[in-house]
């Protein structure tokens, strides 16, 4: 069986973005069976890049597998970790996904909800490129930090 070609190339400038670095850490932390042992960072992050060709290969309706669910959890753990680093307050992700791939992801800081994302079609979770991953995540984190600044007393509660 041939290995699919990697979309993420060595030297990709977005491999050093905050979210990609944190995602690699989170994915390695969730890898209790050492599946990623000896893998390059590009190979670990590659499944998150969901090109049009890759999306076409995945059925429109389907249930997410455990590996995909772990990627979703790692993504929101990464967002929470970056909000915590930049905002100075503890951030906690709360994720609820049904077996059909629908649900919600929240990131809480104190009693303040700083990220609220409805999840659909989780079995097709990913981003068109690392650039898209970095830009969308940066926007989410900036919005969250703005909420923390505006509602500081709730975030500290």
State residue 5's pLDDT score: 76
pLDDT above 50 for 33: yes
Helix (H) or strand (E) holding 106: strand 103-109
Is 95 in a helix, a strand, or coil?
A: strand
pLDDT by residue (tens digit) across 96-141? 999 998 999 999 999 999 999 999 999 999 999 999 999 999 999 9
**CATH numbers and ranges of domains, the chain:** 18-156 (1.10.3100.20)
Name the CA dihedral angle for 33, 10, 124, 32, rounded to a multiple of 10 degrees: 10
The pTM (predicted TM-score) of the whole model is 0.91
- Give the confidence band of 2 by pLDDT, cuts at 50, 70, 90: very low
Strands (E), the chain: 91-97, 103-109, 112-119
CA dist 82 and 64 (Å) reads: 26
Average of per-residue pLDDT across 47-71: 88
Is 104 in a helix, a strand, or coil?
A: strand
Average of per-residue pLDDT across 79-98: 97
State residue 1's pLDDT score: 40
Question: Percent of the chain having pLDDT more than 90?
Answer: 72
- Give the confidence band of 61 by pLDDT, cuts at 50, 70, 90: confident
């Amino acid at each position: 069986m041939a290995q699919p070609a990697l979309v993420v190339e060595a030297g990709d400038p977005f491999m050093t973005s905050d979210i990609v670095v944190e995602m690699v850490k989170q994915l390695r932390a969730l890898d209790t069976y050492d599946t990623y042992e000896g893998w390059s960072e590009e190979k670990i992050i590659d499944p998150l890049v969901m090109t049009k060709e890759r999306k076409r290969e995945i059925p429109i309706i389907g249930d997410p597998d455990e590996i995909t669910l772990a990627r979703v959890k790692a993504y929101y753990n990464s967002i929470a970790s970056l909000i915590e680093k930049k905002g100075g307050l503890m951030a906690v992700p709360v994720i609820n996904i049904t077996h059909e791939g629908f649900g919600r992801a929240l990131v809480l800081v104190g009693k303040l909800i700083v990220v609220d994302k409805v999840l659909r079609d989780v079995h097709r979770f990913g981003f068109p490129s690392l650039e898209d991953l970095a830009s969308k995540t940066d926007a989410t984190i900036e919005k969250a930090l703005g909420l923390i600044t505006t509602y500081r007393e709730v975030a500290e509660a």
